[in-house]
Each structure stands twice: as C-alpha cells, then as structure tokens.
Structure 1
Amino acid sequence: MKILILLFLVGPALIIFTSSQPGKLFKTHSDITPQPERGTRSADDNIRLPAQTYCAPSFDPSKLDAADAPIFKGLGNLHYPISTESAKAQQYFDQGLTLIYAFNHGEAGRSFKAAIKLDSTAAMPYWGLAMVLGPNYNAALNPTSLTEINDAINKALKYSESASPSAKALIAALRKRFPEKEVTDMTPYNEAYAAAMKKAHEAFPADINIAALYVDAMMNEHPWDLWFRNGTAKSWTPAIVEKLEKLLTTAPDHVGANHMYIHLMEASPEVEKAIPSANRLRDMLPAAGHILHMPSHIDIRTGNYHKGVVVNEKASSADSSYIAQCKIQGVYPMMYYPHNIHFLAACAFLEGNSKKAIDAAWSVARHADKTYIYETAAIQHYSIIPYYVLAQLGKWDEILKLDQPDTALIYPLAIWHYARGMAFNGKKDNESAAKELAALREIGKDPRMAGLFIWGVNHAAQLTQIATNVLYGEISAGKGSYDEAILALQKAGDIEDSLMYQEPPDWFFSTRHSLGHVLLKAKKFEEAEKVYLQDMKMYPENGWALMGLYKSLVGQGKLREAKLVKIRFDKAWKWSDIIISSSRI
C-alpha cells in the first residue's frame, strides 16, 4: 500500500492527509518498478508521479484575510482586464493571476479575496478564488475546499452578466471542473474542464491567457505523466507540446507559458528546448521565489550547474524576505523554501563548490520543521542532507562529530550509520566501519522503513539499500576486494536507477562516482569509461565524472582524447574550491 502525504494549513494547525487509494482523488504511485534507463523523467502507463509536497499551495487560501493582502513589487506587468470600476480590485486580480502562474496559490487566493472585498460584484475574482482552491499540476484537490469552491463559482456565475464574453467562457469552463460533493475520481471533471477550455480557446484564439489556461488544463489531465521512461511521448503529450510552443511563439514572455514549458520538457529527451524559457524566467519576476528557482530544473539537466546555484541563491533570498515580511507559516516555509536551498546544495556539489554545498546542506537541515519530523519522511530527508553531502565530500572528522538521531527516526538513523561507516572507512578504521555497516543492515530490516516515502515518491527503504551497498562496496574496495566491491556498487546503481525521478535526486549523488572510482583502482579502465559516460547522460559535464573519464582514458593510453576531456574538466571545475584526482574523494 502506497501512502502520499499532502499537507494543508488550517488556521494555526497543519493537517496531514494521507491516501491509500492511488490514482483516485490523491495521486501516488501504484507500484515501484525498475527504471531501465537513466536520464529520462517519466512513468509507466500505471505509474503517475504524484504531487510534490514542496510545490503544494503555500497555505490554505480559504484561511487568508483579504485585509492583509499586500501589493508586491517585482511581479511583472501581467494585465487581464476584468469588469470592475475599482482600479485596485483590477490590480489585485492581475496579481492573483500572476501568482497562479507562479504556483503561489495561497498568496493568489489572498489577492482574489482582496479584489472581492473591493468589488463584491466583480465576477472574475470569484473565478480566481475557485481556481486556487482547486487542484493544480503539483497538488491534488483538497476535498474540504469543495463547499467554498462551489460557492465562489456560483457567485462568479451570478455576477457574470456584466463580464466580458471571454470571462464568461472561463467561468463556464471552471464550472465543469468541480463536483458538488466529494468524489473518489476526479478524472471525468478534469476531462470536462479541459474540453470546455478547448472551446473557450477556439472561441478566443487571440487571448493568450485563455490559451495558457487551456494548456494548464491539458497538463492537469495527466500531471507528471507526459513521457515514457525511454523518453517517448505519451499519446496526449504531442498536442500539449504543439499548443504550448505555439503560445510561446505568440507570447514568448508569458510567465505561465514559460513555467509550464519547463515542467513539460524537463522529463523529455529534448530538455535543452526549454533553455530559452529557463533564461526568460531568471529575472522575470524578482519577487516570486519559485519562478526564480524554476530555471534550475533545466540547468541541472543540461550541465549549467553554476546558473543553478545563482538562481537558487536569488530564489532563497526572495522567499526569505517574503516569509519574514508577510509572516508566512505552513507548507511554504516548511517545504517550498528549503527546496530552493536543497537545489542550491545539489548544483554547488556538481560544480565542485564544497563550501556552498555544505553551507546549503546545513541550511536545509535548519529549515526542516522538527515539529512534523516524526510524521513526515520528507522533513526527515531535509534534516539529513548534510549527512549525504559530507559523505560525498569526504569530511570524515565532521561526520564523526554528528549527534546520533533519535532512534525512532529510523531513516535518519540509517543514513547516520552510513555516513559514519564511510568516515571510518576513509580513515582506514576497518573494524569501526564494519560495525556501522552491521548497524545499517539491521535498520534496513525494520518493517517500518517500508512505510516511509520521500515526497510520497521513493521509499526510504530504497535509499537505505543503496547506502548499505555503497558502504559495503567501499569497505570491500578498501580491502582490495575489487570484484566484490564492484558487484555491490553495481547493485547500488541498479537500485538508484529504479528510483523515480526527483529534483534534486533522493540519492545524493550518483553511485556511479563510487563505481567508476573502484573500477579505476581495479585498472578496469574501459569499464570505467562507460560508467562515466553513462553518468553524464543524467548530469552532463559534471566535474566528478569528467575527472573520472579523464583518468579512464589515460589508463587506456587514449592520451589525445584524455587531453580534450581535461579541458572540459577545467571548464566544469571553474567554480570549485577543491582539488580532486578521481570521481570521488
């Protein structure tokens, strides 16, 4: 049974909803199956990537006070005229629509409520409120919101007599999206809404916001289910690609279109097609942390790690200011904001900037809300990012100073033992390393591990299995038992490849860095070369793999090729603060 945790802030309390019915109202995996090829983001016909908790609404829009709604600077100049005599209501509506496109649905809800307070007979702010209370690409419908959703739609319909024809089309379409009461399957409603939005788009083909909302409706019919694992498009995906690319030709600076295009193409075999959208979003909305962060979804897939560092530094700064000034609580500071810093740690590691990677890792851990750590594996994962980063960077003394996690937190405890085992092995203390491995194996047998999911996507048990095999492989290699080490590290890689795609990846980072390193030590240079080339299909031009590739080519006597790879390594390592001689320390 797979459980997806969704979080909603209700007043001062955080309610944790769980679902044990995959594919129903809450979407989760129906199974975990091996991933035959890395470098693609997709799912089988029967597997749908679920809503990422960190991209869920920042807080419950129904609980916001319109009186507290600010007008933000730095949110661009999107304008969608509505029927109102209040210039301020129009301003709030424009801001709310912008924030919908920026995936800050909670703050968008506050803007729509402010518009309603200023003009209670304007139809479109009610439309906006219903939109943000409903599902989106990253979050399923919260059924407790249906009463307020339907009330908002009914008021939008009531006051739509004076609305423009295009506004009437949007309101009528949204009416198709929601049931009157809770249902177990939203599929018919998602399909009806998409069909209605298609008609609206056909009636108003020049309206770029209707076009963008139509694409959004199409994508929400199949959230995170657009590509097969081998990179082949699902049957419904080409139509979405065609429509969105046409919209970007017409409106290249539309924030929603660019945001959606990144999500559309990040899993595709042509991820580089989204680079222009990533570049447009880098400075488009300086006050919207999530939009500032979004280019890094493409940066990490195209080897632009330093750009990923920069955008996540900007995103973290913007969100930090927003959270402090607006006193935001709930999911946004608990999940959304740390995601930026987590991504920063990942990109910094891949460019060899150890200080930034370690500082960011500790920052992620500090922002992991310990209030919910026992209930939420994702928060547990945030809290131990330093363990992963320190182990990858060979900070053995720092690892051995880490306090032991609470024994009730079996996943953090497992990775703590893994990191300590790596440290003892690095310090040539074989006996202590073996004790940590034994403890790690024992925790891996704990049946509670199977119920822990990171973001509702990957099992903590899988990560523990990877850790066990990596540590065993490293210990074996330290003893000179290279064949045994290689088998263990290959097994770790197979499990890593079976993980569903995450950004950043749940295993932090590639087991191929360890495998390639051991292959080099075993003088299996040709095999090592293949491992590093495969690694760069996922993380192009990462310096760790480039150094390993360089050494593998030198070992084969391919000195001319090696010289060219060394040039690539020097470029990739431009921002590093460490010297490496292999693919791992």
Structure 2
Amino acid sequence: MKYRFKRTVCLVVCCLVASVPLIADEPHPDTTKGAQLFEGLGDYHREFTTTSDEAQRYLDQGMVWLQAFNYDEAERSFREAARLDPECAMAWWGVAYAAAPSYNHAQLDERRAGIFFEALQNAQARIENASPVERALIEALGKRGEMPYPMEDDSHLDQAYADAMAEVWERFPEDADVGVLYAEALMVRTPWALYNIDREPAEDTPMIEALLERVLELNPNQAGAAHLYIHAVELSKSPERGLVVADRLSTLVPLSGHLLHMPSHIYTRTGDWDRAIEQNALAMEADVKYRAKSPDQFVQHMYMVHNNHIRAYGAMMVGREAEALEASRRMWSQIPEDLLEDVAPQVDAWMCSVYDVYKRFGRWDKMLAEPAPPEYMPFTLATWHAHRAISYAAKKDIEGAQREFRAYRRVRDDTLPRNLPEDYSLKAAKGRLRVIDHFVPGEIALQKGKYKKAIRHLEKAKIAEDKLGYSGEPPDYLQPIRHTLGAVYLLAGRLEEAEEAYREDLAEFPENGWSLYGLSRVLHAQGRTAEAAQVEEEFRLAWADADGPIETSCECIPAL
C-alpha cells in the first residue's frame, strides 16, 4: 500500500533562495538518530497527550522546528518523542507532517513519501490515545495521501487536506496552532503564488492573511504564524503590514537562523537595509551555533547560504562593499567542498553574487582575476563570462568584452540545457539570462559611446527584469537595471526618462542609495534645487555607514 504525494514544483524564491525544493537523488541526513534538546528555541509550549515529560519537551521542540521549516530536525525530535512514549499518537503525526509537502518543499522524493505513510499509519494506530483536537489533526493529515501511487495529478490531495483542516479550525477556533496548520495547508496548494506579477492577490490570499492575523491575535508569539504572514505580505503592494510581525519574530527563536532571517524579507521591501543586514548577521551567528550541535545537514545548508545572500544584497544597496563581499564569499565557504557538486542544481542560480558585488562597486580588475567556477555550475559559469564582458567593456577593451560575451552565449546555448534539470532551475536561470542577453550588449554599446543603442538594449533588459516578477528576497537580479539605465539617460540628456527610471526603482527598492544619488543628480540638472537637496539628505542617511562615497548610480559610468 502506498500513498501519492505532491510532486509539483515549488515556484522559486529568488532562484531558489528562500525555497529549497528537494530532488530525488539528493543527499539526505539520517533523521532516525541524533535527536537532542536545544537551547534558544523560545518558550513555545503545547500540551500533548503523553505519559513522558521528556517526550513533551521533544514534541514542543519538534513543533518549533516545523515552524522554522527545519523538517529534518523536527523529524528527529518527533521520533525521539515516539521512542520515549511509544503510545504517543502525535509524535508520529509530527514525523508524518515533517515529511509531507510544505510551502518550500512541494516536491518530494519517494524516501520521504515512505516516511510519511509509515508515520501516518503509526499515528492512526494510536489515535485512541489522542485528545479530540489531536484526533482531528491526525484524521486531516490522512487526506494528504491516496492510493494508487503514482498518479498524474495530485493537486486534489492538497485541496482535500486544506478542506479537512478548515473543519478542524471550525471546531477549534481558539487554537492558534490549528490556525497555523490550516493557513499552511491553504498556502501549500499554490506555493509562492499568493500574488501575481503585478502584486495583485490570488483569490484566497485575503482569507489566508486574515486567518494568520487572527492566529497572531490569539498568540502574538506564534512563530509559525509570523513566518507564514511574512511570506504572504512580502509579495504584496503593502509589505509594511508585516513590520510589527517582523519586529516580534526578530528575537523569538534565537537558535533558528531561518526565523531570525525572515524579518529581513520585510525590511528589504520597506527600505530598512541596515536592519535587514543586521538580522542576517544574527541569523548567520545562529547558524554557526546550530551546526556545531547538529552538523548532519542538507537542506539547512541552503537556508544558511540564503542568509548570506540577502546580507550581501542589503549591503550592496547601501554601499557596504566589504560586508557584501564577505557575505558573498561565505555563500561558497558554507557549503562543504565535497557537497558542492551534489547541491549544485539547487544553488547554481545564485552563487554568482561575488561577481555581482564586483560589478556593483566597479572592481573590474578583481572580477577579471576571479577564477572560473566549476563546469557543473553552468549558470554561475555563464554569469562569470557575462561579468567579465562587462568588466572588459568598462576598461574600454571592447574586443575582450565581445570575446567574453560570445563565451557566455556558448554556455547559455550549449551547456545550460544539458546540465540543469528541466524544472525550476532552468526556468529561473533562463529568466535571468534574458536580462543578461540585453544588459551586456547595452554595456558594450555604452562604452563605445553609442548611447542610443545602449539605451535600446538596456530598456529591453529592464523589461526582461520586470518580467522576472517578485518571489521573495533578494530579487532575481541583484543590481537593478534602472540604476544603469537612469545613468545612461542622464548622460544622454534625457532627464525626464532618467527621473522616471530612478523613481520607479525607489518605488520597488525604497531608500536604496544608488537611485537616491542618481535622482539627486537629475533634479540638479533640471534646476530643481530644493527637491535635489531633500533627496541628497535622504541619500546621506542611506549612505551613512557606506565604505566610501559614490559619484554615480552605476560604476560603468564613473561620474554623473
């Protein structure tokens, strides 16, 4: 007897950043042993039906790890609770839930499917020992599987589970944990699709957000509700709705790097770059402490790398070059060398941030000295060639730039389709490569003094960037195209278009120093002195902790 599980692909977060889909042949840790009690997980507590005080502690801990999306550690905790109290139904419910489809793990391998079914059977066999709400949760989770296995379309299983959880919530409307589980059931049906590319909500999104707001009224310190609420509202036109929740979550679970990191999804969207950097620095410290106690990881490596990615992105936006480079370097160092090739399909689309930092701050010689990445990371290799082309162009070596752009296109056309799976990785990579396809020729034309041609290419790059949409922080393309386009418009004397480019960018990335600087130069050029002075003051605040001054919004044009 087997169950069918969701195999649809999770939409990626920043080319996999917050989302870490699993693949069938991935390395995986041993979750059947190594359970331990951790300090620094906050004060979460729920009364479970158990005869063991120590099992109760592991059950509480397992719930926190579920809320933090650390499913391997959650499974270890629930298994230990089952060992301590063999008749505890909810211990096995927890093992099953940790293996089930989730917001960031919608694609499951057969190993986890087997874990789910076995654990669910164990929970059902002990259901007579459970309280009414526990019985309801176990029965609802049973809707997640169905015979025969496999089947072509299993989306009805997600809906069946969500419908079952709606009934549980209706019966227990004062139980915050039930509310969180119901909200996640609704979100898992369409992961990372709560809003469309124009940030208009999907049909059920207002209901999901209202549900999470109700849960947070019941328990303001429910970390899982805060986590999911941030994932919802960050995609919207009004991410500031998540600020109170983000502030609260920023200290709730000190050992969970991912939960410490999550507020930065709101801080970056609202222009609080310094706070975003700080939260990810704290998350990185927590990751070090956690890995010292629990080194057997796979998926959590991806989350840890993600913390560095957003830290680098935030630091780039406010001129903190050294910190951006250090965080980008740590993205590589945090993945053990013997694991890198195994995880390459998951990380390839965003390990190029070192190149982004060099481009951002105009370190052309350093970029050209950067060694080539391994061939089993074709997207990183393609972007390496692209950034070399940009660097050569900035140094007025047009022949070198064109040579590297040809090399980029060879990797794009030949290597990428062979080495990336035909799923989220290739889709994400192709979207970003469409930006590069136009951005690099625009840079080459710019350095040749052909401004009209440069603008045509950069406008196409901007359109391609806009089509990437938003699926979480950081954005798919770390240096906004409008930083370059605005500068070229200004250089070409097209002041109204330059102003529009910078203002559009600030609407998307509030308080970023590069567009504030560019806008101030445009306003001066237009003779709008008072407005320029106001924007200059905003720039000074944004740039207060920068490593040095700037004279441009894109280092490809040294001064505006």
With structure 1 as the length reference, what TM-score do the two structures score?
A: 0.87
What SS class does the counterpart of residue 157 from structure 1 fall into?
helix
| Fraction of identical pairs, as percent | 35
Shift of 1:159: 1.7
Shift of 1:319: 1.0
Shift of 1:106: 0.6
Q: Which residue does the alignment assign to 2:98? A: 132
Question: Residue 238 of structure 1: which of 206, 226, 233 is its match?
Answer: 206
Identify if the C-alpha distance between structure 1 residues 202 and 114 changes in structure 2 by more than 3 Å, giving closer, same or farther. Answer: same
RMSD: 2.6
Identify if the C-alpha distance between structure 1 residues 409 and 155 changes in structure 2 by more than 3 Å, giving closer, same or farther. Answer: closer
Q: Which residue does the alignment assign to 1:437? A: 405
Question: Residue 145 of structure 2: which of 174, 178, 184 is its match?
Answer: 178
Shift of 1:353: 0.4
Instruction: Map Cα deviations across residues 533-552 of structure 1 (whole Å, 9 max, x no partner).
Output: 11112211100011011111
Question: Residue 95 of structure 1: which of 61, 74, 93 is its match?
Answer: 61
Deviates more, 1:360-369 or 1:537-546: 360-369
Q: Is the 8 A contact 1:24 1:184 kept in 2?
A: no
Shift of 1:377: 4.1
Question: Residue 527 of structure 1: which of 497, 510, 535 is its match?
Answer: 497
Identify if the C-alpha distance between structure 1 residues 328 and 76 changes in structure 2 by more than 3 Å, giving closer, same or farther. Answer: same
Identify if the C-alpha distance between structure 1 residues 277 and 436 changes in structure 2 by more than 3 Å, giving closer, same or farther. Answer: same
Q: Which residue does the alignment assign to 1:328? A: 296
Q: Is the 8 A contact 1:53 1:455 kept in 2?
A: no
Shift of 1:76: 1.0
1:487 aligns with 2:456: yes
Pairs within 5 Å for 1:438-517: 438-446=406-414, 448-449=416-417, 452=420, 456=425, 458-502=427-471, 503-517=473-487
Instruction: Map Cα deviations across residues 422-455 of structure 1 (whole Å, 9 max, x no partner).
Output: 2223223333333333433444443744874795
Q: Which residue does the alignment assign to 1:541? A: 511
Rounded to whole Å, the distance in 2 between the matches of 1:253 and 1:183 is 40
Shift of 1:350: 0.8
Rounded to whole Å, the distance in 2 between the matches of 1:423 and 1:357 is 19
Shift of 1:382: 4.2
Q: Which residue does the alignment assign to 1:65? A: 32
Question: Residue 276 of structure 1: which of 212, 233, 244 is its match?
Answer: 244
Rounded to whole Å, the distance in 2 between the matches of 1:510 and 1:364 is 21
- Ranges of 4+ aligned residues in structure 1 off by more than 6 Å: 59-62
Shift of 1:51: 9.8
Rounded to whole Å, the distance in 2 between the matches of 1:452 and 1:576 is 37
Shift of 1:164: 1.3
- Count of residues in Structure 1 that have an aligned counterpart in Structure 2: 544
Q: Is the 8 A contact 1:378 1:455 kept in 2?
A: no
Shift of 1:208: 1.3
Q: Which residue does the alignment assign to 1:301? A: 269
Q: Which residue does the alignment assign to 1:116? A: 82
Shift of 1:207: 1.3
Rounded to whole Å, the distance in 2 between the matches of 1:294 and 1:135 is 20
Rounded to whole Å, the distance in 2 between the matches of 1:347 and 1:136 is 28
Pairs within 5 Å for 1:88-487: 88-140=54-106, 141-180=108-147, 181-333=149-301, 335-368=302-335, 371-373=339-341, 376-406=344-374, 409-446=377-414, 448-449=416-417, 452=420, 456=425, 458-487=427-456
Shift of 1:213: 1.1
Identify if the C-alpha distance between structure 1 residues 515 and 70 changes in structure 2 by more than 3 Å, giving closer, same or farther. Answer: same
Q: Is the 8 A contact 1:525 1:552 kept in 2?
A: yes
Shift of 1:555: 0.9
Q: Is the 8 A contact 1:62 1:133 kept in 2?
A: no
Deviates more, 1:522-531 or 1:174-183: 174-183
Identify if the C-alpha distance between structure 1 residues 372 and 147 changes in structure 2 by more than 3 Å, giving closer, same or farther. Answer: same
Q: Is the 8 A contact 2:227 2:262 kept in 1?
A: yes
Q: Which residue does the alignment assign to 1:26? A: 8
Letter in 2 for 1:583: S
Shift of 1:471: 2.5
Identify if the C-alpha distance between structure 1 residues 55 and 296 changes in structure 2 by more than 3 Å, giving closer, same or farther. Answer: farther
What SS class does the counterpart of residue 399 from structure 2 fall into?
helix
Shift of 1:369: 5.2
Rounded to whole Å, the distance in 2 between the matches of 1:406 and 1:78 is 44
Letter in 1 for 2:455: I
Identify if the C-alpha distance between structure 1 residues 404 and 122 changes in structure 2 by more than 3 Å, giving closer, same or farther. Answer: closer
Rounded to whole Å, the distance in 2 between the matches of 1:339 and 1:297 is 11
Q: Is there any run of 5+ residues in structure 1 with no aligned partner, and where?
A: 1-22, 33-40, 43-48
Rounded to whole Å, the distance in 2 between the matches of 1:120 and 1:224 is 37
Letter in 1 for 2:9: K
Rounded to whole Å, the distance in 2 between the matches of 1:62 and 1:414 is 31
Rounded to whole Å, the distance in 2 between the matches of 1:300 and 1:147 is 39
Rounded to whole Å, the distance in 2 between the matches of 1:473 and 1:92 is 57
Q: Is the 8 A contact 1:353 1:576 kept in 2?
A: yes
Deviates more, 1:84-93 or 1:377-386: 377-386
Identify if the C-alpha distance between structure 1 residues 582 and 242 changes in structure 2 by more than 3 Å, giving closer, same or farther. Answer: same
Q: Which residue does the alignment assign to 1:9? A: none
Rounded to whole Å, the distance in 2 between the matches of 1:56 and 1:151 is 20
Rounded to whole Å, the distance in 1 between the matches of 2:155 and 2:387 is 44
Q: Which residue does the alignment assign to 1:84? A: 50
Letter in 2 for 1:569: F
Q: Is the 8 A contact 1:440 1:468 kept in 2?
A: no
Q: Is the 8 A contact 2:87 2:129 kept in 1?
A: no
What SS class does the counterpart of residue 425 from structure 2 fall into?
coil
Rounded to whole Å, the distance in 2 between the matches of 1:72 and 1:375 is 27
Q: Is the 8 A contact 2:212 2:225 kept in 1?
A: yes
Rounded to whole Å, the distance in 1 between the matches of 2:74 and 2:533 is 53
Letter in 1 for 2:334: H
Rounded to whole Å, the distance in 2 between the matches of 1:61 and 1:415 is 29
What SS class does the counterpart of residue 296 from structure 2 fall into?
coil
Deviates more, 1:148-157 or 1:92-101: 148-157
Q: Which residue does the alignment assign to 1:518? A: 488
Instruction: Map Cα deviations across residues 293-337 of structure 1 (whole Å, 9 max, x no partner).
Output: 10111111111111111111111111122123222232322x121
Instruction: Map Cα deviations across residues 501-529 of structure 1 (whole Å, 9 max, x no partner).
Output: 34222322111111111111112111100
Letter in 1 for 2:123: A
Q: Which residue does the alignment assign to 2:558? A: none
Q: Is the 8 A contact 1:55 1:336 kept in 2?
A: no
What SS class does the counterpart of residue 56 from structure 2 fall into?
helix
Letter in 2 for 1:384: C
Rounded to whole Å, the distance in 2 between the matches of 1:529 and 1:452 is 39
Identify if the C-alpha distance between structure 1 residues 497 and 374 changes in structure 2 by more than 3 Å, giving closer, same or farther. Answer: farther
Rounded to whole Å, the distance in 2 between the matches of 1:362 and 1:82 is 44
Identify if the C-alpha distance between structure 1 residues 179 and 276 changes in structure 2 by more than 3 Å, giving closer, same or farther. Answer: same
What SS class does the counterpart of residue 436 from structure 2 fall into?
helix
Letter in 1 for 2:228: M
Identify if the C-alpha distance between structure 1 residues 408 and 223 changes in structure 2 by more than 3 Å, giving closer, same or farther. Answer: closer
